[in-house]
Amino acid sequence: MAPSKNGSIVIVGAGVFGLSTALELKQRGYNDITVLDRYTPPAVDGSSVDISRIIRIDYADPVYCKMAREAYQGWTTEYKQQYFESGFALLSETPRNDWIEKSKATVLANGGTVEVLKDATQLLQSYPNIQAKLSGMNGYLNRIGGWADAAGSIQKLASRCSVEGISIISGPRGTVVSLRKEGSRVVGVNLLSGGSLLASQVIVSTGAWTNRLLDVAHAASSSGQPVGFIQLTEEEARSLDNTPVMINMSSGVFVFPPSPGSNILKLARHGYGYANEVTVISDGTTRTISSPKFESSNAQTGYLPEDADRDLRAGLRQFFPKFADRPWMNRRLCWYTDTPKGDFIIDHHPTLQGLFVATGGAGHGFKFLPILGKYIADCFEDKAPQELREKWRLAPSEGDSAGYSMKGDGSRAGPPLRELTRVEKAKL
């Protein structure tokens, strides 16, 4: 039964999934939409925020490659003030990297072009300001791609939602502690403030916090990925002008050009990350899950595990050796919502009526911001092609979630997933 456009819709989560869904549904004629979150967007510890995110069309999977090309049109038009086309270089320390080869083939099959780098030092011909130690590396360069101001993009998206008449509530009245149910139907949400908000439809777009509200441990889990920031002077930043986003697909470390204005240099790792195991109680059941903190900001302390700091520092020495010993101005764990194959989860809940789930960004969801809401709304209205519905289906659990692998689409690198120790958890 199609959702009523006059019924109330509550969307939990004001990241890229939640806000893009809200805007698209409003534009399709849904009249009563409320978005709830712990923090006002751009949320300080969300995976959709801070100074930059990679924008690329490079995918081994043709579905996401096609979607990324569509999103690119939005980045170069509606979000052109937030987008910086620096180029994107995928590099490897091994003679052959399977994911790079598959991505290259998919890009070419979808009408794109790449510049093969049998020797990565060829990059210096186009980008003479690169400081990186490129000898012994190979890969390819795609000039279509770069990065976006993540927080600025989310701010613009949230502003568009407000202008359309969508309510965005944060703080205790926007913090959802549980789903409100009547039998097998979700009828609203319970709030930290002590009240509740009823709705005809609830959409859960809570990213790395999803398992706190809903047991989907068989389909998604959370991992913290290390991120570091270094303050440069104006002169130092200018010395890195006209350099591309680069990723070492052997280590997972990726880097951005300095951000204009702030002159901040950022690097991070696209890897398997760190699990933060916590115990939650929902519907009378006690579960152990991996999740970021819920009660306070996960970006506040600036803590990284020692091995994460060491690996980021190694990446800094490789890509920006001139600044290898520069102290961090800030560090944090960015919380991914991992899924088995890196696919999104966009589906009506298989057993709970009135509940729709849109999550599972898997470290790559942000780049689809200009068009993601359209795809989510199509699934919400049961209009999406069957191929996509199956790809993003929330399947019922088939047993012990400990047996499920969340390694993603094969693009990650670096050490395996590691559980944080008790001492490390205390420092988060």
Residue-wise pLDDT for 317-335, tens only, equals 999 999 999 999 999 999 9
How confident is residue 401, by pLDDT bands cut at 50, 70 and 90? low
Contact 162, 153 (CB under 8 A): no
In a domain, 99, yes or no: yes
On whether residue 230 sits in a domain, the answer given is: yes
pLDDT score, position 403: 61
Mean pLDDT of 28-46: 97
CA angle 338, 71, 224 (to 5 degrees): 20
Check whether 224 has a pLDDT greater than 80.
yes
pLDDT at residue 396 tops 90: no
Spatial CB neighbours of 116, under 8 Å, sequence gap ≥ 6: 104, 140
Q: Which helix (H) or strand (E) holds 268?
A: strand 264-269
Give domain status of residue 3, yes or no.
no
- Tell me the C-alpha distance between 325 and 328, whole Å: 9
C-alpha dihedral, 318 to 320 to 324 to 327, nearest 10°: -130
1 within domain boundaries: no
pLDDT given at position 249? 98
CB 30 within 8 A of CB 5: yes
Please state the separation of Cα 8 from the chain's center in Å.
27
Per-residue model confidence (pLDDT) at position 398? 76
pLDDT exceeds cutoff 80 at 421: yes
Measured at the CA of 324, the angle between CA 320 and CA 328, to 5 degrees, comes to 105
The two beta strands, 245-248 and 88-92, are parallel
Residue 391, number of CB atoms within 10 A of its CB: 16
pLDDT tens profile 109-168: 999 999 999 999 999 999 999 999 999 999 999 999 999 999 999 999 999 999 999 999
* Strand partners of residue 254: 247, 268
- 3-class DSSP state for residue 234? helix
The pLDDT, as a whole number, for residue 402 is: 61
Mean predicted confidence (pLDDT) in 93-101: 97
Instruction: Report the pLDDT value the prediction gives residue 3, as an integer from 0 to 100.
Output: 82
What would the mean pLDDT of 27-42 be, rounded to a whole number?
A: 98
Q: What is the mean pLDDT of residues 231-256?
A: 98
Q: Are 185 and 353 in contact (CB under 8 A)?
A: yes
Listed range (43-52, 82-91, 139-148) with the worst mean pLDDT: 43-52
**Which range marks the domain in which residue 262 is found?**
8-427
DSSP E strand stretches across 136-262: 138-142, 145-148, 167-169, 176-182, 185-191, 196-198, 201-204, 221-231, 245-248, 253-255
Residue 155's contacts (CB-CB under 8 Å, 6 or more residues apart) are: 41, 42
DSSP result, 75-129: HTTTTTTTEE---EEEEESSS--HHHHHHHHHHHHTT---EEESSGGGHHHH-TT
Helices 62-75 and 98-109 cross at an angle (nearest 10°) of: 60
* Domain presence at residue 321: yes
For 335, phi and psi rounded to 5 degrees? -95, 115
Residue with the bigger pLDDT between 1 and 156: it is 156
Per residue in 342-389, pLDDT tens?
999 999 999 999 999 999 999 999 999 999 999 999 999 999 999 999
State the pLDDT confidence band at 283, using cuts at 50, 70 and 90. Answer: confident
Structure-block tokens of residue 277: 């195991």
Count of domains for the chain:
1
Structure confidence by residue, pLDDT tens digits, 174-217:
999 999 999 999 999 999 999 999 999 999 999 999 999 999 99
What CATH number has the domain bearing residue 44? 3.50.50.60
Select from 247, 261, 143, 215 the least CA-distant residue to 397.
Answer: 215
The mean pLDDT of 262-284, rounded to a whole number, is 95
Q: Are strands 221-231 and 264-269 parallel, antiparallel or unpaired?
A: antiparallel
pLDDT at residue 156, as a whole number: 98
What pLDDT was estimated at residue 166?
98
What does the pLDDT read at residue 282? Answer: 80
Report, as an integer, the average pLDDT of 297-314: 97
pLDDT computed for residue 397 by the predictor: 83
Quick one: average pLDDT of 33-47? 97
CB 230 within 8 A of CB 317: no
* Structure confidence at residue 326 (pLDDT): 97
The structure tokens listed for 310 are: 């060491």
